[in-house]
């Protein structure tokens, strides 16, 4: 069974993404980076992106990760904070710790595409 199926499919991923951005917007370190962003569009794109990243259907039509983040100059501290917020959301959503670790591992491997190279 794919990680996508074990996590509960599209609805479960959409709920996790929603909770993640609710926390990210309220976070003093990463929140300011979302100023002026169409959050409804970002939540939808992020959901499609994560669904594909964990073995679900390929529906993502947004920009590549590097292109989507290059103007933001994301540093390692902000990347770590987003991963930490995702870990908290997965735990609070009652996701099995082994499944959560699998999701966090896959997301963490995307650091090189998101974090600005000097
Ligand atoms: C592995 C981690 C991450 C993934 C998988 C990810 C994924 C995405 C995706 C799929 C988009 C949408 C691109 C589009 O609509 O074409 C996006 C946009 C965005 N991401 Fe990330 N992201 C990650 C980490 C971060 C971090 C650490 C930050 C900031 C702290 C961040 C801030 C943003 C912002 C502000 C946008 C909107 C850009 C804009 O529309 O101007 N992301 N991200």
Rounded average pLDDT over 74-96: 96
Question: Would you kindly state where each structural domain of the chain is located, as residue ranges?
Answer: 3-114
What is the CA(46)–ligand 1 centre distance, in A? 7
Cβ of residue 43 lying under 6 Å from some atom of ligand 1: no
Q: What is the pLDDT of residues 98-107, one digit of tens each?
A: 999 999 999 9
Residues 6+ apart with CB under 8 A from 31: 24, 25
Instruction: List, for residues 38-64, the tens digit of each pLDDT value.
Output: 999 999 999 999 998 898 998 888 888
For residue 95, how far is its CA from the centre of ligand 1 (angstroms)? 23
Nearest Cα neighbor of 101 from 118, 113, 86, 82 is 86
User: 3-114: which CATH topology?
Assistant: Globin-like (1.10.490)
Nearest to 100 by CA among 114, 81, 84: 84
């Amino acid at each position: 069974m794919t990680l996508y199926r074990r996590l509960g499919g599209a609805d479960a991923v959409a709920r996790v993404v929603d909770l993640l951005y609710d926390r990210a917007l309220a976070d003093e370190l990463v929140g300011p980076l979302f100023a002026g962003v169409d959050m409804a569009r970002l939540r939808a794109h992020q959901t499609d992106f994560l669904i594909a990243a964990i073995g679900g259907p390929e529906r993502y039509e947004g920009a590549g990760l590097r292109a989507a983040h290059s103007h933001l100059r994301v540093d390692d501290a902000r990347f770590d904070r987003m991963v930490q917020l995702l870990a908290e959301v997965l735990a609070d959503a009652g996701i099995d710790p082994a499944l959560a670790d699998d999701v966090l591992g896959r997301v963490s491997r995307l650091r090189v595409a998101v974090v600005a190279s000097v």
